[in-house]
Structure 1
């Protein structure tokens, strides 16, 4: 193996499980044991044509030209360890990982992203287990000559790495084959909403669903709103999680009216980057492919035909994916549907508290009531009333939870009396979930009602600080909001979840729609949306500044948490005709969206441009550039460049530096292969940077200048230029900027056939992964 250059190799990491404990227990005896271990390992690796290039305490790392040879060595080593007794120490158990890729070979050692990924892969295994990456599996081509086989363990997330890994386990005679779950970041990928408390009264339905999904690839649940369809689907997914190594995923399609929009929502849940929304369906089908996964598509009633079309496509194209669909109305699907009925309520003939308490509806009511008021019990005095409440609510779970949430302030007789009065006043509604929501809302005092209504402006959750800033008025002080939110949680009108060290609140979709209607009735929609916009515009300003600094990763997470609220703020401002405000938010969000392939930001920019007409304002050049970027990611470089040139002209007419559109013009020229024009654009951009306060722009242009130098036959100048860019980038401490310069350095070095290319590219990708910069990682 040649030193001082990037090489394609397969690596095997091995580590003795529990070695620290063995050293503490057996002391000096471990020195001889470790020497014997190293001798066995050396024989296994050498006999397979590999090279041990590093010892890591009680482990080792070996490199191979042949991926099958690497696995042969691992199998031989495991067999040797399994058959060797080490006196008082006993048998050693080693975990091993095998991964292939390009690494930098220097002075007898290997470095880079591939080596690091192999170490992470090995760390998820157990003693006696050999795990192999998808990259290695794809290189294997001699199945007849093997003494071993591979079994797929599914797609798993490795610690500190942004892209999941397809993992396989080696099986062979003489090796253990049964192991605990892999020690991955999330052992089974999932995206399931958290639910409150145990499921009640759904065991038979859950069993039926599991049997259906064992034999068929589709199960649909049909029932009225609030009956618990989503909860049953989530419970079954949790129970079946172990059978889906590629994960279980929950996607709400409520209010979506096209199959493309539904596919885009699924793509977001699966973390699939969609450049062109019209391509969402084929990209989702391709990404799911042969994955062993379960997908819950929740709320298909808004557009049942579109949902059915998408489900049929998934069934046809994804043979190992199981689907669960929920809807308020029956769907025209090839497989029969399960009806989710309300919970069984007590018979009117039942009088004993013990018998009444056996009813699933009463069990749910009591569980929720005792969560609010732990001292509440079912007694001879109140059992009949509780049973009547459950009957009046038809056993609908959401209605029962809302009613039980009143127990802290009302006794069962009061709840029943108020419920009867409410239904009598609105007989056409009947005792539906909507009626109970209305009744729960009307049981609030005026201040709680206004707060609840104002919460409808939040999308996908909010924290206390946001509610204090947006939902206060003369009657509701900021110091009261936290207490009032707790009251709404206790009444089941608001859900909570812990996000890291903080609590976030959210309204369920049905409650949010109801609250939005009340907000309009109060005449508070426009002012509350304006406060919501102002709050998130301020957030975006702070977050965008943070994104440019050393703490980029922290602010990326903040942007991701609040992106749905930024989206809601943009569309509320646009709907109100405040397009200059909307344009400001687009520009502040762009730096995050650009690096994380949130392509919808281009649609925002197009909406703002259309709304502003001839008066594009101070952010006009940026808006035109973002629109052009949108065309570029869809492959229309000509239109992209046209918008960029319009943006340059507008910036100059405003007396501003057109750095942002110049950057798009440079990229467009490179993509067209017109390196001469790219060099011209770089020089124009550099000339325009005299008054740009952001030093990152100058660093960025140094990188592009170095690239054009390298492509035009000036290697020495290119290396000097990119080295200077790297020095300046590292001084900023910004991971994305450093990664971008390293990436350009790697591309330049690769074109010069330099051994330094692999190291630069590996470091670039590692940094970019830390801040989820998919523009660089691809």
Structure 2
């Protein structure tokens, strides 16, 4: 940062390194080392002499001094970072039903086969929990430092670990520059203002939006590390900045949790579906039902309020139906289970039949339902027009008794489109997290989630598909 500022000011006034050395009484070699980043901790006297030689105005001089202090702070930060690998946040709950996903992502990131992984899925599906597991495995198994940045969202079930002073702010700044909302990013270049003596002065406050990215790259350098960006909402990340960071840090891996694909070169999209839930046509015993991941999570949450509870054969149909109606979505299962403080299973099941959406409001007041609806609104808005229309028709339950289950042939019959066109529309629904695939008996089938059907905005349901009402 300091070296780039010096080079920028020197070029602006048309000085060579030799001429600046003569004006400032600093050696040519010292100026060259500063500009090329080989020297990052200039002394106060050196900064003052360079500013005098460049004839900087008050604001530009203050920015140069701030950049020098930042270089000194970064050096101290790097010393602390290099002393001990930074640990990931500690999860506060047990991972359930994600062994294959966690193993696959850990292997890909550890080997370097994939360096930019984007975990996508429905709101509340467990993207953060999977990222925590993968980060913990990479840290304990391969010694990766884990640099964790989280965007604003609901309360999270982990405990952040301590690190060197200033590290969290640097990681957050880097994540904001690369994956923050495009409109909130500072401009990429400076503006010029006049000074009282008539000379031009480059205003550098907030001008280098990649300052934190550059400092982050200098911190990581060529050592293995994992950057986790949890809860990124933008659909337009800074692709140039991401490419540059991965190039400057050849051993860095980036794991992002988001709402959809970015289309970045080298991006590994990983669509995370809900937990496996009970099948509608199958008969279960308490033992066989209790082994299904969605049921395990539901019972785990239930026993937090009723520790004595044991699943009986009489309760099997109700538990299976609750987990199936909630699509195996972890956040929905937790919210529904919280109501068992005051409801019995039969009442909870009836409430889900009457008003599925209301049960996503946690008994303690954590409104998962509102967050889910807002996230769904964003997802639906990103769909192409034909995808939104198809989703609206599927949510209306105009086929197959209203269960939301369909094949490509059903979409072709509904829309009049060719199978390849229908395939693209269905793929859009899958990537948006509003539907999931099912492969039974050698056939590909798909299902719109019950929760999506419950929350799909009514205004979207009047949309048409290729002119068919």
More helix by proportion, 1 or 2?
1
TM-score (norm 1): 0.30
Structure 2 length as normaliser, TM-score? 0.48
